């Protein structure tokens, strides 16, 4: 141990520290300054940025022995406090810079150092700064962060008053459609919002820290587990294996279709006799500190008999491949699509036909916050599990039997989260925490490091697709044939639902009267497939959108005009035979057309030597909801202090459940004079909040929004005195009226798709987008730069413009990553953010244009549709099409890394 004297945020601290400990851990663990976050813990994300003697430093990578005595350190807490915010923090709130907010303290600290050095930076200098300091954001697409720095700089220079950075309430009282900042924004930008790892540092002293013993091979039989050495390690309280699990020791996918050949009970909590994928948990060590737990975990000996590992669907489908789950074929689910007439004869007589093979890869979610959770027993003896769950009620039912608990013996709570992008639609560590708490009777904490985040959470499932179009010579689509194979990793949960997305979204956006096709889900030994923003649409639509361009070329037609001819209009049906609820695509293409023509001209003029410029477009469509008659519940109550609480389990990954709930309710309740600052929301907790369903499938604004609207309308009606005035809480009580109202919604027009034909009305509301990408390809290196992205979007009426803009920018940025760099194919190489191709600021264009067509959705609250997944439906197809337009390289196998572009150029 060494003693250090540090000046932190103007206060001298004399502290005793381990010289090998990181500054980030000392700030957070010893000094309680949890505003400094730890994301990657590998100097790659900037979440831990602090200023030391005027320089930005990533404190996770700085050992205490290297910190100079008397160093002047500024953390986010020293930049500004909630009641005295720095202009950067004000600007972050105003521009919606904090979505999940996990990166915000690091960015703001970094920007503070920039402005201290240069109070008049250009936008490019701001971008260079964040690039140099490795500040990474997964939610915002960076643009609003640069906007915020530019505004804050004006205040620092004295050209703008700080008050101008405060949101002004619109005069007409309604905040619907406005840029009202989300209620959690101030806590996020000041580092005062506690995320899972922050909360776990504040747990009681008898809390145990867990570490996992994980498989380091992808497929094996387990012959024995020897925990004896680990049990003797310092600080160890217990080493738990499958035999310590009281229940079924399985997590179930719950909603498997009857045609699924498995039983849905294929995912162990702790592996018993087999390892199914790299990283599978075999044992849990519970100890006094995380360090001791991890050291002991390394001493557990696992005797394995390695088996052939099937690392992709094609290998797992081979004749001689072993069944990964003995008794269940590796191809365990198939779903056909049959719409209209047989397509064979149509293809034979068609004027034109095109065919292509496509692949969209294993995109990793890469939230900045790695997975984290804790568990303990509540006063009533209930096992409480806090995590990043985005489906608390769903996950409770998925894990309870495995733990041997009745559902009412367990409660799941969602912590504030640093992004999930869908990986938390699957339970990750919840059941492991449950096992540890049940076996030890103590509070337990489990934190994944970034390596575990990458290697042992679900990933986007790779799809291999073959699609064909038949068309008339005027470009009218006549038929489609499709075949798709989904590599879902070893666990079946939601795999069939994902595969069904191929039925629903290959060819979406176009009226294709006749379709035949077949999709299949394949069990493999690579990372298990979990939901990822877009959920099947980025795979499905990549195929049909690149094929549309191939068809346009064959017909000698412009790609935009070919799409214009075929998009949904009155009388059209989508691939599942459902009439679209709105027909906005023609209008959206009309809006894009002049911009597209100008972009083509600009590209032609701008190409120079090896630097070829090109323009590509694509259409994106996705549904809002869980297939069929999706349902949600929410409550509205008036409180003693005359504030209103909206109770729901709308989980907030970072997308904005807080403002989603409040904005939707306020549009009803402002009539009673309730201002948004007098409205509260709830953090999801199965014991105290209603079952609003998971925050996936871009369903919450529509489903939970409708339930909130219903509850709010009932509350408003009860408050209404009938003379234009409204009751207070006390007047409600005096009048004998309830103060809490239950709201419900069921999407009654929704029907499940037929198992034989895929026909049905799976969603009552859809989102529509038209993407345009402008790129430069360096034909000497194969490197692609995205210069500009444009999105014309119809997500119905907009609840909160700040949120929706932010969703679009952030989703497009993930689409650029999907198109060009992101992958998790190579378990070791792709186990870090940088290794997996995380897009930093310079990879994302500053020029991103958003245009909206707000068509009222009759089934959405106040006309709103969903939004979260639209921006990641198909931006990558526009980029691939732009690469072709630039240089003639058709890359249909993503990501389009330079070597693939060069290879395609040769062909």
What residues are paired with 477 via a beta bridge?
Answer: 471
β-strand pairing of 372-377 with 383-387: antiparallel
Which of 87, 696 has the CB closer to ligand MCN?
A: 696
Q: Applying CB under 6 A, does 699 fall inside the site for ligand MCN?
A: yes
Q: Which of residues 627-666 bind ligand MCN (CB under 6 A)?
A: 653-657, 659-660
3-state secondary structure string, 526-546? Answer: CCCECCCCCCCHHHHHHHHHH
Among 110, 415, 574, 698, binds ligand MCN (CB under 6 A): 698
Which of 292, 700 has the CB closer to ligand MCN?
A: 700
Active-site residue flag, 869: yes
Candidates 250, 305, 142, 264; CA nearest to 816 is 142
Task: Report the alpha-carbon distance of residue 731 to residue 65 in Å, rounded.
Answer: 64
Q: Applying CB under 6 A, does 48 fall inside the site for ligand FES?
A: yes
Q: In this structure, are residues 339 and 346 in contact, taking their beta carbons and an 8 Å threshold?
A: no
Stretch of residues binding ligand FES (CB under 6 A), selected from 133-141, 317-325, 626-634, 812-820 = 133-141
Task: Report the alpha-carbon distance of residue 420 to residue 326 in Å, rounded.
Answer: 32
3-state secondary structure string, 485-512? Answer: EEECCCCCCCHHHHHHHHHHHCCCCECC
Within 8 A by CB and 6+ apart from 472, the residues are 350, 351, 352, 478
**Residue 483: Cβ within 10 Å count:** 18
Q: Applying CB under 6 A, does 620 fall inside the site for ligand FES?
A: no
β-strand pairing of 783-794 with 848-852: parallel
Which of 419, 620 has the CB closer to ligand FES?
A: 419
Binding-site size for ligand MCN (CB under 6 A) equals 38
Q: Applying CB under 6 A, does 658 fall inside the site for ligand FES?
A: no
Stretch of residues binding ligand MCN (CB under 6 A), selected from 397-405, 568-576, 838-846, 865-873 = 865-873
Token pair recorded at residue 654: 């970072």
Q: Applying CB under 6 A, does 99 fall inside the site for ligand FES?
A: yes
Which residues in 120-154 are b (16+ Cβ under 10 Å) and which e?
Answer: ebeeeebbebbeebbbbbbbbbbbbbbbbbbbbbb
Q: Applying CB under 6 A, does 804 fall inside the site for ligand FES?
A: no
47 binds, among ligand MCN, ligand FES, none (CB under 5 to 8 A by kind): ligand FES
Q: Applying CB under 6 A, does 64 fall inside the site for ligand FES?
A: no
Among 7, 21, 29, 43, binds ligand FES (CB under 6 A): 43
Q: Applying CB under 6 A, does 364 fall inside the site for ligand MCN?
A: no
Helix (H, G, I), strand (E, B) or coil at 478: strand
Q: In this structure, are residues 764 and 699 in contact, taking their beta carbons and an 8 Å threshold?
A: no
Q: Applying CB under 6 A, does 761 fall inside the site for ligand MCN?
A: no
Among 654, 758, 769, 866, binds ligand FES (CB under 6 A): 654
Characterise 675 by phi-psi region: left (phi > 0), alpha (psi -120 to 50), beta (else).
beta
Convert residues 519-558 into a mask of x (bound to ligand MCN by CB under 6 A) and - (unbound): --------------x-------------------------
Helix (H) or strand (E) holding 238: strand 236-240
Stretch of residues binding ligand MCN (CB under 6 A), selected from 104-112, 260-268, 368-376, 866-874 = 866-874
Q: In this structure, are residues 277 and 266 in contact, taking their beta carbons and an 8 Å threshold?
A: no
Q: Applying CB under 6 A, does 659 fall inside the site for ligand FES?
A: no
Task: Report the alpha-carbon distance of residue 878 to residue 538 in Å, rounded.
Answer: 11
Q: Applying CB under 6 A, does 572 fall inside the site for ligand FES?
A: no
Binding-site size for ligand FES (CB under 6 A) equals 25
- 567 DSSP assignment: B
Within 8 A by CB and 6+ apart from 766, the residues are 580, 581, 582, 621, 622, 623, 624, 865
Token pair recorded at residue 734: 């005096």
Q: Applying CB under 6 A, does 800 fall inside the site for ligand MCN?
A: yes
Among 46, 502, 519, 693, binds ligand FES (CB under 6 A): 46
Q: Applying CB under 6 A, does 812 fall inside the site for ligand MCN?
A: no
Task: Report the alpha-carbon distance of residue 851 to residue 867 in Å, rounded.
Answer: 14
Among 516, 710, 869, 901, binds ligand MCN (CB under 6 A): 869
Q: In this structure, are residues 59 and 22 in contact, taking their beta carbons and an 8 Å threshold?
A: yes
Q: Which one of 21, 306, 869, 899 is the catalytic residue?
A: 869
48 binds, among ligand MCN, ligand FES, none (CB under 5 to 8 A by kind): ligand FES
Characterise 628 by phi-psi region: left (phi > 0), alpha (psi -120 to 50), beta (else).
left
- Least distance CB 778 / ligand MCN (angstroms): 32
Q: Applying CB under 6 A, does 60 fall inside the site for ligand FES?
A: yes
Convert residues 521-560 into a mask of x (bound to ligand FES by CB under 6 A) and - (unbound): ----------------------------------------
Among 98, 438, 808, 879, binds ligand FES (CB under 6 A): 98
Stretch of residues binding ligand MCN (CB under 6 A), selected from 287-295, 449-457, 506-514, 860-868 = 860-868
Which of 486, 841 has the CB closer to ligand FES?
A: 841
Q: Which of residues 411-450 bind ligand FES (CB under 6 A)?
A: 419
Q: Which of residues 726-765 bind ligand FES (CB under 6 A)?
A: none
Token pair recorded at residue 133: 């300091």
Q: In this structure, are residues 73 and 51 in contact, taking their beta carbons and an 8 Å threshold?
A: yes
Q: Applying CB under 6 A, does 41 fall inside the site for ligand FES?
A: yes
Among 304, 435, 864, 887, binds ligand MCN (CB under 6 A): 864
- 147 DSSP assignment: H
Q: How many residues make up the chain in this entry?
A: 907
Which of 87, 660 has the CB closer to ligand MCN?
A: 660
Report, as residue numbers or ranges, the catalytic residues. 869
Which residues make up the interface to ligand FES (CB under 6 A)?
Answer: 38-41, 43-48, 58, 60, 98-103, 137-140, 368, 419, 654
């Amino acid at each position: 141990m060494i003693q250090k004297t540090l000046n932190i945020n103007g206060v001298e601290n004399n502290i005793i520290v381990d010289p090998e400990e990181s500054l980030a851990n000392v700030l957070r663990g010893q000094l309680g300054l949890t505003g400094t976050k730890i994301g990657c813990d590998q100097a790659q994300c900037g979440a831990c940025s602090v200023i030391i003697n005027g320089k930005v430093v990533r404190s996770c990578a700085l050992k205490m022995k290297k910190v100079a005595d008397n160093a002047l350190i500024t953390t986010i807490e020293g930049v500004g406090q909630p009641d005295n915010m720095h202009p950067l923090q004000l600007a972050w709130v105003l521009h919606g810079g904090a979505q999940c907010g996990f990166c915000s303290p690091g960015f703001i600290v970094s920007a503070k150092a920039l402005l201290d050095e240069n109070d008049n930076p250009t936008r490019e200098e701001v971008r260079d700064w964040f690039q140099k300091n490795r500040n990474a954001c997964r939610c915002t697409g960076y643009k609003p962060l640069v906007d915020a720095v530019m505004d804050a700089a004006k205040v620092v220079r004295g050209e703008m008053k700080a008050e101008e950075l405060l949101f002004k309430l619109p005069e007409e009282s309604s905040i619907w459609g406005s840029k009202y900042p989300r209620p959690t924004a101030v806590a996020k930008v000041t580092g005062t919002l506690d995320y899972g790892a922050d909360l776990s540092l504040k747990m009681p002293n008898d809390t145990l820290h867990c570490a996992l013993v994980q498989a380091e091979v992808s497929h094996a039989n387990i012959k024995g587990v020897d925990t004896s050495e680990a049990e003797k390690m310092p600080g160890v309280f217990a080493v738990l294996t499958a035999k310590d699990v009281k229940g079924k020791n399985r997590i179930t996918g719950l909603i498997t279709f009857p045609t699924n050949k498995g039983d849905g009970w294929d995912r162990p909590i702790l592996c018993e006799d087999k390892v199914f994928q790299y990283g599978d948990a075999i044992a849990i060590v519970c100890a006094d500190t995380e360090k001791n737990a991890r050291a002991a975990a390394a001493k557990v000996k696992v005797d394995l008999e390695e088996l052939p590992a099937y690392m992709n669907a094609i290998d797992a489908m081979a004749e001689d491949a072993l069944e990964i789950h003995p008794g269940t074929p590796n191809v365990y689910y198939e779903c056909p699509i049959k719409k209209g007439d047989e397509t064979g004869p149509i293809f034979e007589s068609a004027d034109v036909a095109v065919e292509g093979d496509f692949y969209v890869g294993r995109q990793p979610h890469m939230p900045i916050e790695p997975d984290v959770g804790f568990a303990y027993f509540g006063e009533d003896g209930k096992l409480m599990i806090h995590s990043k769950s985005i489906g608390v009620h769903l996950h409770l039912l998925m894990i309870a039997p495995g733990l041997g608990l009745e559902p009412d013996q367990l409660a799941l709570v969602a912590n504030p989260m640093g992004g999930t992008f869908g990986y938390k639609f699957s339970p990750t560590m919840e059941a492991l925490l449950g096992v540890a708490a049940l076996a030890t009777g103590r509070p337990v904490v489990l934190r994944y490091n970034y390596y575990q985040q990458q290697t042992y959470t679900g990933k986007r499932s790779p799809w291999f697709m073959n699609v064909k179009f038949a068309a008339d010579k005027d470009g009218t689509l006549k038929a489609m044939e499709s075949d798709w194979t989904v590599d879902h990793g070893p666990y079946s949960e939601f795999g069939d639902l994902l595969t069904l997305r191929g039925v629903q979204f290959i060819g979406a956006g176009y009226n294709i009267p006749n379709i035949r096709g077949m999709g299949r889900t394949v069990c493999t030994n690579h990372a298990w497939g979990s939901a990822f923003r877009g959920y099947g649409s980025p795979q499905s639509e990549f195929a049909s959108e690149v094929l549309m361009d191939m068809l346009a070329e064959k017909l000698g037609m412009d790609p935009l005009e070919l799409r214009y001819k075929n998009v949904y209009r009155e009388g059209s049906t989508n691939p599942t035979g459902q009439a679209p609820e709105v027909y906005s695509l023609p209008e959206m293409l009309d809006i894009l057309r002049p911009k597209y023509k100008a972009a083509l001209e600009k590209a032609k003029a701008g190409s120079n030597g090896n630097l070829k410029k090109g323009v590509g477009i694509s259409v994106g469509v996705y549904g809002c909801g869980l297939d069929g008659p999706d349902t949600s519940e929410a409550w509205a109550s008036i409180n003693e202090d005359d504030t209103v609480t909206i109770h729901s389990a709308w989980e907030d990954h970072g997308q904005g459940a807080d403002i989603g709930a409040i904005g939707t309710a306020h549009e009803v309740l402002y009539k009673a004079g309730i201002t948004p600052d007098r409205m509260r929301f709830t953090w999801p907790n199965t014991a105290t909040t209603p079952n609003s369903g998971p925050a996936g499938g871009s369903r919450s604004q529509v489903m939970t929004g409708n339930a909130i609207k219903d509850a709010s309308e009932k509350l408003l009606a009860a408050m209404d005195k009938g003379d234009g005035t409204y009751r207070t809480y006390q007047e409600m009580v005096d009048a004998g009226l309830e103060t809490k109202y239950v709201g419900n919604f069921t999407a009654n027009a929704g029907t499940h798709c037929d198992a034989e034909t895929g026909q049905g009305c799976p969603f009552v509301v859809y989102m529509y987008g038209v993407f345009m990408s402008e790129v430069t390809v360096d034909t000497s290196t194969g490197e692609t730069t995205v210069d500009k992205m444009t999105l014309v979007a119809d997500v119905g009426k907009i609840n909160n413009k700040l949120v929706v803009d932010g969703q679009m920018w952030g989703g497009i940025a993930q689409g650029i990553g999907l198109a060009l760099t992101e992958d998790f194919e190579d378990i070791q190489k792709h186990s870090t953010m940088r290794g997996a191709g995380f897009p930093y600021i310079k990879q994302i264009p500053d020029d991103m244009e958003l245009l909206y067509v707000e068509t009222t959705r009759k089934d959405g609250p106040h006309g709103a549709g969903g939004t979260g997944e639209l921006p990641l439906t198909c931006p990558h197809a526009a980029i691939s099409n732009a690469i072709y337009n630039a240089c003639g390289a058709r890359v249909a196998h993503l990501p389009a890394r330079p070597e693939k572009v060069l290879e395609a150029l040769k062909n």
